[in-house]
Amino acid sequence: MKSYSELIQIPTIEERFEYLCLPGLVGQNTFGGYRYLNQDFYRSREWQQFRNQIIVRDNGCDMAYPGEEIGGIIIIHHINPMVPDDIIRHSSIIFDPENVVCVSELTHKLIHYGNKEDYMKATQFVPRSPNDTCPWKR
């Protein structure tokens, strides 16, 4: 089982992404016809309060990496994925601070459907230069 305590010991953001990445799980049916369960769960007051606590704990930073503040939607990602039975049984895994971390919408999609190379391309900084959006003035 992976944990938040292990995650925050990882020194680089790229290595944190690798730690969280779920390779080989693309297309795995986790909720399918039970989608209503997690939708109701994520709207619950209990989840909203827990979510706010995690955002404060992580300072709203992507993968809890200092200086990587999330400017848009903040997603609380379950490090060890949950399944419908976890919600039905109200398993402790769903509200365990050791099993969640703040991530950006892009990072969340890449954790589930990408790999390290996709992450590196998507987050690569491209410096601006004069007339870089105007090809005929180069």
pLDDT tens for 21-72 read 986 554 455 666 677 888 889 999 999 999 999 999 999 999 999 999 999 9
CB of 81 closer than 8 Å to CB of 92: no
User: Residues 98, 108, 82, CA angle at the centre, nearest 5°?
Assistant: 50
Give the number of other Cβ atoms within 10 Å of residue 28's Cβ: 10
Q: In this structure, what is the dihedral angle of CA atoms 61, 66, 67, 70, given to the nearest 10 degrees?
A: 0
Model pTM? Answer: 0.81
In this prediction, residue 64 carries a pLDDT of: 97
Confidence of residue 113 (pLDDT cuts 50, 70, 90): confident
